[in-house]
A = this chain, B = another copy of it.
Amino acid sequence: MKIGILLKEGPYNHQAADTAYKFAEAAIRKGHTVDAVFLYNDGVANVTKLMDPPQDDRHISSRWGQLHKEHGVEILACIAASKRRGICDDVLIEGSEITGLGNLTDIAIRNDRLLTFGD
């Protein structure tokens, strides 16, 4: 099955980013395709490479970058939401991209499911 994910909250502040990641991991492990993770609202902050959490904590943006690298999952941040919150190409983690909401619509159309995680 092909699955798209919409993530609406920023990293660390809400569990949404963690649940979305754990879900994606499990779906891939079970042989499904996770097509894309689309970041909206504060969710766009998931892909800043400037984050620098404590050593013993998870690194949320690297984790998304890895998911792209290892499993081809598109990691996309909405451009309008990103501009409001200071996310731009200069700070993006490798493997992620800033794009328009048309792309989210395509994701909704071409996948069997679109799952939302947020607050």
The reply on A65 being an interface residue by CB < 8 A is: no
Most buried by B among A50, A52, A83, A91: A50
CA distance A91 to B52 in the complex (A): 14
- By the criterion CB–CB under 8 Å, are A86 and B51 in contact? yes
Number of A residues with CB within 8 Å of any CB on chain B: 23
User: B86 contacts A12, CB within 8 Å?
Assistant: no
| Oligomeric state, in copies | 2
In-complex Cβ contact of A85 among B11, B83, B84, B90 (8 A): B11
Secondary structure at the A interface, as helix, strand, loop or mixed, is loop
A43 to chain B, nearest CB (A): 10
Interface residues as binary, A6-23 with B (CB distance below 8 Å gives 1, 0 otherwise): 000011110000000000
Say yes or no for A45: interface residue by CB 8 A criterion.
Answer: yes
Bound together, the chains give a CA A57 to CA B90 distance in angstroms of 23
Residues 85-101 of A at the B interface (beta carbon under 8 Å): 85-88, 90-91
* Shortest beta-carbon distance from A95 to chain B in Å: 16
